[in-house]
Amino acid sequence: MREHITGAVQFVSNNHLKFDRPAQPIDALPDPGQKFGYVNKPVPQPPTAEVLAKLNTPEIKERCADLLSRYPVGQAALLEVLWLVQGVFGWVPREGIRWAANVCGCAPAHALGVATFYTMYNHAPKGKFLLQFCRNISCTIKGAPSLIAYVEHALNIKTGETTPDGLFTILQVECLGSCGNGPMMLVNDDFATDADGDVLTMKPGTKLTTDSIDRILKWCYAHENNIPKHDVLGGTVKGHCGHPGAPGAIAKPQVADYAPPSPVLNVKSEADETGATLTWKGAPEFTKIVVEKKNGDDWVAVGEPGVKDKAFVDPNGKVGDEYRMIATSGERVAKPSAVAVTKQKPAPEQKAV
Amino acid sequence: MAECVKVCTQNFGKGAQDIEVYKKLGGYSNISERLFNMSQFELIDYVQRSNLRGRGGAGFPTGMKWSFVPRGTGKPVYIVVNADEGEGGTFKDHFLMLEDPHRLIEGLIIAAWALGSRAAYIYCRGEFLPCIEALNKALNQAYAAGYLGENICGTKFSFDIFVHRGAGAYICGEETALINSLEGQKGQPRLKPPFPAVCGAWKSPTCVNNVETIMSLPWILSHDPSEYAKMGTPRAGGTKVFCISGDVKNPGVYEAPLGTPMMTMINDYAGGVVGGKLKAVLPGGSSCAPLTAEEAAVATMDYECLASMKTMFGSGAMIIINDTHNMADLLNCLGNFYSHESCGQCTPCREGTGLLHRILNQMVAGNGHDGDVELMQSLSSGFGGVTICPLSISLGGPVSSYTAKFRADFDEYIAKNPEHAKPRIQENYRPGIFW
């Protein structure tokens, strides 16, 4: 089956498609996503604590509560909450997607599916100025391909790449809905056919030319340190009553405490005269596990088993003791596992002779 | 060119983004004076008599669409405005929302009264952030003035409007995909039936209307519906906002009555063809069949005439092409576009648009082969009726019509390949969404 997936296709003139090439490993092929500015390779992610610190602010919590109050179900606010994440970072880190899923009360896998479906969410950092050029039919008629080639030459990068100084990223996108001013480009969130002094303009009857692109690039260099910021959702609206029965209208969204669920499952503890023996199952990704034992009202760390160990023995463990495990995966610390109460280890069965 | 009554674009360039200016120009008078004196059925009958047809592309009669929305089901009725304008060549909603956001709000209040709706969502495409800003500013003003929120103008009627920012997917312009996207899912179209009018957003009755349709309502309500119907053709009333782009002197947004001759639009409104002679016109956006110069000379811009010429009126987005362009280049553009925007649900569309796109790409790069055109025609002939939504036909239709009407352009490219008689072997075939 894999051969069919990666094999080359042969077109024969009488309209038969034949798979007749040997399979190639998928990594050996050029990454076609580059053309659209997507990255198929893993992107270095910022530390969890930093992502959460930037997202769990009072302003963003308030915005989330407002967004959740608009829809009958929390999941509907997912696109907007992802926009808020992109507004903070300029792209959506994986941890930000998990956070958005948590806010909206949907599965992180669903949120990742949504975030990768729509092309405007960036999954890798972009330059300070994201230049998006329309390459659809009206703009092509008016000469967009030659303009894009001009900009690529002027900035010495190709479409989908970022300049080494981190200032510009060029993308080619489909119709920007301004065909009358074609060719058309977006500078971050602004439509621009020209730069007039301090502002980018799109006057009726104007279009992009090589000269106006020069002026726009000059404007970008001049505004490197004071880029005009837009609110990602175009500002807030005050005075609406919200959707009757919306999750945000009843309870505040659960954005306060966020930790990923524990990857450690089914902790079992059994004691005999040698102490308590703990066994567990878990996702393979964690890098460190800490075992804690209940002592009065506190939890005390009693040991740190190796990640690949099958069991952990606490020599002081007795029947009735309570244990839990906390897993760490890279920077992320998960919620503790469910508490396991120690039971008596059954005596080994005597085999009949 | 006769002076035409402006229905949607009358406030352009007058600073109507501000509520005070808009009110001075006669705005919101419907709400304060006549809307609440009419019953819902009177209002729907009013819209039906005006012969208003949906302006988004399909051209379904608006009043009839509203009459399908069931009442008394105990579920809320939602109005969703389709402002996910992504079709190549279409840009009217962009400027309508930018120049006159209050007219959209007023139209929505009228629609909400007709349908008994409590909440409306404006699904605006992600690239139109300036429009979203203009709308949010207008919404704030309307809430402050008491036209929205609880107990509008002292009545017991309450109504809210929310703007929902999309995130860049052309397919979300299809109404069920738009509803999926509004629900926070991937924008993939749903199977119909059930139709959104019965089971749409959150399984409630939902009415999806285009921006221009909603913006026509204030004028219809403040005038007589027969006056509106009189302006158009017998089967479709009113004026239409045309967007003219491509090789014309003055591309832009023009409002004209339905049934205006195509050459009047090109020569009188848009200032004529520049850069060469007229070669082809796409009358309804990028997904329609092109008309040659001879056909364009006799065509009129309305639903029936264009349907009889085996193309479509669509959203009234005219793209004018002069004779310096090769149609294979432009079809390659469309191949890029539709294969990129296919949502990936249906195999004929996901794989078919990608194959067409690759064949066209190679042809334009000088690697065309004999039989490519027949192969493309054969592929596109398999698109009809086998997919959930019409995206694949949006590429399949142009492929068959471009190759039929402008075959010489394709042969010219194929002849550039010195080895065009050999069979085609394509390297590095890799399926998936990244064609």
**Over the stretch B181-227, which tens digit does the pLDDT of each residue have?**
999 999 999 998 999 999 999 989 999 999 999 999 999 999 888 99
Q: Do the chains contact at A234 and B132, CB–CB below 8 Å?
A: yes
What average pLDDT does this structure show over A126-130?
Answer: 92
**Is A136 in the same domain as A107?**
no
Q: A108 CB near a chain B CB, below 8 Å? A: no
Q: Do the chains contact at B253 and A244, CB–CB below 8 Å?
A: no
**Is A99 in the same domain as A155?**
no
Collect all residues with Cβ–Cβ distance below 8 Å to A309 and sequence separation of at least 6.
none
Average pLDDT, chain B: 90
Question: pLDDT tens for residues A221-273?
Answer: 999 998 888 999 998 998 888 887 666 544 443 443 455 556 666 788 888 88
**Is A94 in the same domain as A135?**
no
pLDDT at A285: 61
pLDDT at A264: 66
Residue A340 pLDDT exceeds 50: yes
The tokens for A239 are 């005075």
**Is A100 in the same domain as A145?**
no
8 Å CB contact between B83 and B209 = no
Side chain identity at residue B131, one-letter code:
C
Q: B408 CB near a chain A CB, below 8 Å? A: no
**Which residues in B lie closer than 8 A to residue A234 (C-beta atoms)?**
129, 132-133, 135-136, 163, 165
Residue A47 pLDDT exceeds 90: no
Residue B228 pLDDT exceeds 60: yes
The tokens for B324 are 């310096």
Side chain identity at residue A41, one-letter code:
K
Question: pLDDT tens for residues B70-101?
Answer: 887 888 899 999 999 888 899 999 999 999 99
pLDDT at B220: 92
- Comparing CA positions, the residue from B267, B266, B264, B269 lying closest to residue B254 is B269
CATH of the domain at A303: 2.60.40.10
Q: Do the chains contact at B428 and A29, CB–CB below 8 Å?
A: yes
**Is A328 in the same domain as A287?**
yes
Nearest to B340 among A5, A174, A235 (CB): A174
Poorest-confidence range of A81-90, A288-297, B279-288, B423-432?
A: B423-432
| Percentage of the residues of chain B whose pLDDT score is greater than 90 | 67
**Is A103 in the same domain as A153?**
no
pLDDT at A100: 92
Poorest-confidence range of A8-17, A294-303, A331-340, A342-351?
A: A8-17
Q: B147 CB near a chain A CB, below 8 Å? A: no
Nearest to A121 among B167, B246, B343 (CB): B167
CB pairs < 8 Å spanning A and B: 243
Among candidate residues A165, A195, A222, the one where a domain is terminated: A222
CATH of the domain at A71: 1.10.10
Domain assignment present for residue A243? The answer is no
What average pLDDT does this structure show over B305-330?
Answer: 92
Residue A187 pLDDT exceeds 70: yes
Its domain, for residue A54, covers: 48-117
pLDDT at A245: 64
- Comparing CA positions, the residue from B46, B24, B25 lying closest to residue B35 is B46
Residue A56 pLDDT exceeds 50: yes
pLDDT at A24: 45
| Percentage of the residues of chain B whose pLDDT score is greater than 70 | 97
**Is A136 in the same domain as A215?**
yes
pLDDT at A329: 64
Instruction: List, as ranges, residues 274-303 from B with C-beta within 8 Å of A.
Output: 282, 286
pTM (whole model) above 0.90 = no
Q: Which residue of A has its CA nearest to B429?
A: A8
pLDDT at A196: 86
Q: B323 CB near a chain A CB, below 8 Å? A: no
Which fold does the domain B327-415 belong to in CATH? de novo design (two linked rop proteins) (1.20.1440)
Question: pLDDT tens for residues A193-230?
Answer: 998 888 898 888 888 999 999 999 999 999 999 888 89
Q: A23 CB near a chain B CB, below 8 Å? A: no
Nearest to A118 among B137, B149, B168 (CB): B168
pLDDT at A335: 72
**Which residues in A lie closer than 8 A to residue B90 (C-beta atoms)?**
175, 177, 179
Q: Which CATH class is domain B239-322?
A: alpha beta
Residue B17 pLDDT exceeds 90: yes
Q: Do the chains contact at B251 and A177, CB–CB below 8 Å?
A: no
Least Cα separation, residue A332 to chain B (angstroms): 27
The tokens for B65 are 């669409």
A11 forms bridges with which residues in the sheet? A17
Q: A208 CB near a chain B CB, below 8 Å? A: no
| Percentage of the residues of chain A whose pLDDT score is greater than 70 | 78
pLDDT at A10: 37
Dihedral class, residue B37 (left if φ above 0, else alpha if ψ from -120 to 50, else beta) = alpha
Instruction: List, as ranges, residues 298-317 from A with C-beta within 8 Å of B.
Output: none
Q: Which residue of B has its CA nearest to A178?
A: B91
C-alpha–C-alpha distance, residues A22 and B278, integer Å: 49
**Is A92 in the same domain as A144?**
no
Least Cα separation, residue A268 to chain B (angstroms): 39
**Is A59 in the same domain as A81?**
yes
C-alpha–C-alpha distance, residues A171 and B168, integer Å: 13
Q: How many residues does chain B have?
A: 435
The residue of B109, B121, B245, B282 whose CB has the most chain A CBs within 10 angstroms, and thus the best one to mutate to test that interface, is B245
What average pLDDT does this structure show over B293-304?
Answer: 92
Q: Do the chains contact at A233 and B246, CB–CB below 8 Å?
A: no
User: Number of C-alpha atoms within 13 angstroms, CB side, residue A187?
Assistant: 27
Q: A40 CB near a chain B CB, below 8 Å? A: yes
Instruction: List, as ranges, residues 222-251 from A with C-beta within 8 Å of B.
Output: 230-244
Collect all residues with Cβ–Cβ distance below 8 Å to A343 and sequence separation of at least 6.
A269, A270, A271, A319
**Which residues in A lie closer than 8 A to residue B92 (C-beta atoms)?**
none
Q: A146 CB near a chain B CB, below 8 Å? A: no
Residue B277 pLDDT exceeds 80: yes
CATH architecture of the domain with range B19-231: 3-Layer(aba) Sandwich (3.40)
pLDDT at A6: 36
Q: Do the chains contact at B329 and A10, CB–CB below 8 Å?
A: no
CATH of the domain at A187: 3.40.30.10
pLDDT at A141: 93
A16 vs B421, higher pLDDT:
B421
**Is A202 in the same domain as A133?**
yes
Q: Which residue of A has its CA nearest to B287?
A: A137
Poorest-confidence range of B30-34, B264-268, B290-294?
A: B30-34
Residue A108 pLDDT exceeds 70: yes
pLDDT at A3: 34
Poorest-confidence range of A31-45, B27-41, B145-159, B179-193?
A: A31-45
Domain assignment present for residue A315? The answer is yes
Domain assignment present for residue A206? The answer is yes
What average pLDDT does this structure show over B258-269?
Answer: 92
The angle formed by the CA atoms of residues A321, A325 and A327, to the nearest 5 degrees, is 175
Q: Which residue of B has its CA nearest to A15?
A: B375
Structural domain boundaries in chain B: 19-231, 239-322, 327-415
Nearest to A234 among B133, B187, B247 (CB): B133
